[in-house]
């Protein structure tokens, strides 16, 4: 299996219908060993729901046989091995007739689902990719700094920086060893020098790794002391902080705390994007809200940013000839050709936006988008078809 990166997502987004259905399957893998026994059963349940579609009148004989082969391959090859990816998720995209089969390890669990459609169901992948900022994580105390790289839910130690220990006759060992008249001065001198050097190391690591954001951990008072020493260009890149005891921390703790900070940052970013989009809409700027308006904007190739609320799914229609998207029309109003049914027209909208150079943001925060389902920032104005 491969980990989800842009080069894995691109072929899925650009997949074109072959005449046979594509089976897209998402299964979360629990972390606790006692729950792993249920993974194969979850695959079985999802595949059972797919088998029930084999009798659909929309599938001809070849399409049924292709889908039947996909079900068997996933049950035989993927389900028995999926438990080893505990704490993550597994996505499978299969079309036997088109000789297409892709397995992807997701860095975190996602909602389980099985979708049969003419194209791969990619919205959960796009959501994972959109949230996959590359972070630098630094944990500091007054003598050390542990620097990590955090990407796709993976934490790797980059380096460890040690503060300089200044020795003189007044030092008796340890931070408590300074004699009364020199304790405060020496401690501040050591800490400031250490923080300055640690901040410079963090800057170097972020430049080398291409990290976009920074997360800082440690005791609250130590974190507060360290933050002002970060270079000016890093100050706006601080995504958040967390509390941890450097003396007892483990990589698992750091990963969990960093993930919590990253998730909170993503929700704040979503809220800001939604607020700015609806402010633009209210002032008559280039924006749209609601499914019909956004569908028109997508068809006009006008969408710069598509905002989608949570995991909402809406069935619709697609023209494979010209790419037109709609809700009910059986014949395309643009090219006149028959349209095909899609299980989720929002997924088709997302791939169309990416195909035309736009961006898709899945919004999980509670925002004004809840009642509109979708909204968009536009490259040029598109009139609301409902007005």
Task: Write the CATH number for 333.
Answer: 3.30.1330.30
The percentage of the chain sitting over the pLDDT mark of 90, rounded to a whole number, equals 71
User: Tens digits of per-residue pLDDT, 335-352?
Assistant: 999 999 999 999 999 999
Give every strand in the sheet of 89-95, ordered side by side. 2-3, 100-106, 89-95, 22-28, 113-117
Q: pLDDT band at 172, cuts 50/70/90?
A: very low
If residue 51 lies in a helix (H) or strand (E), which one and from where to where?
helix 39-51
Residue whose C-alpha is closest to residue 178's, from 193, 162, 191, 197? 191
User: Tens digits of per-residue pLDDT, 262-320?
Assistant: 999 999 999 999 999 999 999 999 999 999 999 999 999 999 999 999 888 999 999 99
Q: pLDDT band at 162, cuts 50/70/90?
A: low
Centre a 10 Å sphere on the Cβ of residue 180 and count the other Cβ atoms it contains. Answer: 7
End-to-end Cα, the chain, rounded Å = 49
Are 163 and 226 contained in the same domain?
A: yes
Are 139 and 265 contained in the same domain?
A: yes
Task: Write the CATH number for 95.
Answer: 3.30.960.10
Domain extent for 336 = 286-387
- Number of separate domains in the chain: 3
Q: How far apart are the C-alpha atoms of 224 and 365, rounded to whole Å?
A: 28
Q: How many residues does the chain have?
A: 387
């Amino acid at each position: 299996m491969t980990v989800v990166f842009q080069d894995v997502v691109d072929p899925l987004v650009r997949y074109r219908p072959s005449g046979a259905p594509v089976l897209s399957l998402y299964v979360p893998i629990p972390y606790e060993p006692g729950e792993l026994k249920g993974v194969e059963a979850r695959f079985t349940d999802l595949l059972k729901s797919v088998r029930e579609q084999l009798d659909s009148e929309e599938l001809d004989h070849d399409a049924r046989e292709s889908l039947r082969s996909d079900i068997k391959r996933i049950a035989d090859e993927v389900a028995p091995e999926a438990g080893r990816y505990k704490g993550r998720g597994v996505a499978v995209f299969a079309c036997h007739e088109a000789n297409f089969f892709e397995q992807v390890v997701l860095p975190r669990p996602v909602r389980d689902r099985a979708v049969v459609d003419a194209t791969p169901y990619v919205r959960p992948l796009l959501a994972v990719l959109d949230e996959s900022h590359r972070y630098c994580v630094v944990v500091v105390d007054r003598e050390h700094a542990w620097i990590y790289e955090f990407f796709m839910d993976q934490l790797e130690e980059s380096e460890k920086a040690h503060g300089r220990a200044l020795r003189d006759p007044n030092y008796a060992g340890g931070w408590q060893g300074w004699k009364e008249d020199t304790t405060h001065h020496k401690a501040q001198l050591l800490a400031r020098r250490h923080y300055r050097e640690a901040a410079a190391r963090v800057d170097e690591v972020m430049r080398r790794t291409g990290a976009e954001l920074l997360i800082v951990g440690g005791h609250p008072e130590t974190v507060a002391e360290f933050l002002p020493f970060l270079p000016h260009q890093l100050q706006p890149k601080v995504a958040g902080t967390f509390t941890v005891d450097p003396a007892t921390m483990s990589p698992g703790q750091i990963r969990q705390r960093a993930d919590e900070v990253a998730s909170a940052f993503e929700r704040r970013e979503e809220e800001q994007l939604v607020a700015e989009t609806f402010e633009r809409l209210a002032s008559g700027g280039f924006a749209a809200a609601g499914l019909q308006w956004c569908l028109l904007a997508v068809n006009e190739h006008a969408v710069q940013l598509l905002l989608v609320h949570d995991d909402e799914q809406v069935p619709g229609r697609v023209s494979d000839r010209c790419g037109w998207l709609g809700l009910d029309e059986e014949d395309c109003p643009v090219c006149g050709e028959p349209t095909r049914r899609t299980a989720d027209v929002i997924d088709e909208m997302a791939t169309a936006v990416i195909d035309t150079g736009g961006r898709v943001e899945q919004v999980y925060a509670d925002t004004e988008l809840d009642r509109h389902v979708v909204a968009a920032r536009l490259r040029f104005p598109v009139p609301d078809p409902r007005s």
